[in-house]
Structure 1
Amino acid sequence: MKNFALVGAAGYVAPRHMKAIKETGNDLLVALDKNDSVGVLDRYFPDTLFFTEEKLFIKYIEQLKRDENKKIDYFSVCSPNHLHDYHVSMALRAGANVICEKPLTLNPSNIDILEAVEKESAGTIYTILQLRLHPSIIKLKKRINQENKRQKYNVDLTYITARGNWYQNSWKGSQTKSGGIAINIGIHFFDMLLWLFGELKDSYLHVKEKNKMAGYLELERARVRWFLSIDKKTLPDVILKKGMPVYRSMIVDKQEISFTNGFTDLHTESYGKVLAKKGFKMQEARPSIELASLIRNSVKVNLGEKHFFLA
């Protein structure tokens, strides 16, 4: 059994990490969040010691280091995006390994800083790239490798996840805190595309609004037209009629690749990989962070093939 600390316990994604810690047979000793709406702890770890003040949290972590049976082995970082690299550094300096929710950092240059801190510490940084573990995506990866096509694949990627008015008034609506929807919503999909189809050759941006973005990627083995949105009005009619708030679709050479089911259920598997020393490390996250950063800082241009939602 490994001992965990969790930063960002009141956040949206924190329960998935708590569940993963529980289901992999480990213990959550201590948690931190400036907000105290953390009743979800009772579902998984009612005995977890909870702090709202970082200084007291760190002091307690230091105390635990003196007890071999209670020292923290892993930090789970679920805080707002702009705090991830800070909390990852904090965990490393506390002598622990780190499992960080996406994105590891908002700016590619900060990866170099984290790399230096990691080398100076005894811990290792891991990040959550759960779409690489999705059965449908693994199957597609095997197909691509086996086919070894000379021609590029044609890909249409669509991800719409409806969010209410609260979104823009929270840290997620802030470009400086969340990185905008290119990072907060799109980072997993950009990682998946790069993992499947190889390195970036070119990128064009067609739509850049606070609620939606769209563009074109020229990858080593694919031409990708992508569309991201948190606007309910962009959901297809068939999805709206079903009352569903989310639509995920990837069409590869006119064949639909379904990964809607199971998308939110892969944290436990991600934790299992980390605990077996097979998790995704920092450098594996770099290409998608570089791409998402490029996209969010791009100016709209009328170049490249457009997603069919823009026709």
Structure 2
Amino acid sequence: MPKVKGKTQKRAPQGRRRTAPPPPQVEPSRADPASIVTGLVLVVAVIVAGAALLGGSMSKLGAGVSGAVDSTAASLGFAVQDVRIVGLQQDTCRARLVQQTAGIETGDNMFRADPHTIRRRILSSGQVTSAQVYRLWPNQILIHASPARAAAVWHDGEAWRVIDGTGQIMEGLAAQDYADLIRLSGAEAPAGVPALLRFLAEAGSVSERLSYAERVSRRRWDIRLRNGLLIRLPPDTSVARAAKELAALDGSARLTERSLARIDLRVPERTFLEPLDETDAAGVPAES
């Protein structure tokens, strides 16, 4: 029998061998300090939560979690160690009040010391005209406050006292050094200073001719101009409305320069005038 020739297997042409790509280099991950702190806090919180669920109420759960978070933050160095106030070095009493209002004490959790919340507390106290709060990690709170300026002098029945724009008495200042400021009288007059200043700021040229202001019933003002004209204002909550009405009348009819004994702005949209030569007569309403 003839031999069966087997098929010759063709070999693939030899070319350049492909070099295998190098294995990817694995770099060790770097731990983020903030992530570590957050992780530890969460772990402790979970442990406390489990314990509370097994044998406590929801109120105890919340207290436990809060206490655990604060303790963990303190152990890691994130607790308030210093509250520094800048801008009130000359007024230690006001600085102390600002710190109390801020509501931050040594040992508090830095993560809970929200600058925006602290700033709102300080401004609501009326002790300063502006405030900026900074959280300086890991353990300091910086408060930069601007004190109010002297705005008036008030006679308290015994002596003259200097009052700032927020209605606070400025201790240690001599009233004779502020003779050009507004003179005030009446019980609890300082508390109404912010409202009085708002009125004067919006009432046109009245502030330039003001002689003094008297606090009435601890809730509103009567102001006297240098020409003798008395202007009766409404309660403090309505001074903006009164200022707008007076400015409009003064601009169109120069009302405060006329021969009048009294202008009464206490009734909304009704301005009552009392002529100078008829001080015993009833008030005459004017359109407003």
TM-score, normalising length: structure 1? 0.26
Which is bigger in relative contact order (C-alpha 8 A, separation at least 6)? 1
TM-score, normalising length: structure 2? 0.27
Question: Which is higher, the Rg of structure 1 or of structure 2?
Answer: 2
